[in-house]
Amino acid sequence: GCIVDGKLYPFGDIARTENCFRCSCSRDTIDCCSLFHTPIGYDKENCKIVFNKKTCNYDVVQKSDPSKECFIYSRV
């Protein structure tokens, strides 16, 4: 198998690792890509980014009230 972030996965496709990556594991290589996109266009003065491991995505929330989401203009 392959070790990703200290955890052993079997050979083959890994739909989702604990840290939100999709991987392909073979005897010779392991290739991974992220399942999330980073917000870059949002109100940086009033909002902050919080990673949500449950959804494998970044939430952008108000600094003054983290229970309220902020509008995201773009992601990369």
Domain holding 58: CATH number?
2.20.25.590
- Let me know whether 46 and 20 are in one domain: no
* Amino acid at site 34: S
pLDDT at 58: 94
Domain range enclosing 47: 39-75
- Let me know whether 45 and 18 are in one domain: no
* Number of domains within the chain: 2
pLDDT at 56: 94
pLDDT, averaged per 10 consecutive residues of the chain (76 residues), comes to: 90 93 94 93 96 94 96 91
* Three-class secondary structure of residue 74 per DSSP: strand
C-beta atoms surrounding 39 within 10 Å: 19
- Let me know whether 51 and 23 are in one domain: no
CA distance 6 to 48: 29
Residue 45's alpha-carbon distances to 41, 50, 70, in angstroms, are 12, 15, 11
pTM of the model: 0.72
Q: Over the chain, what is the mean pLDDT?
A: 93
- Let me know whether 18 and 43 are in one domain: no
pLDDT at 5: 87
- Let me know whether 70 and 55 are in one domain: yes
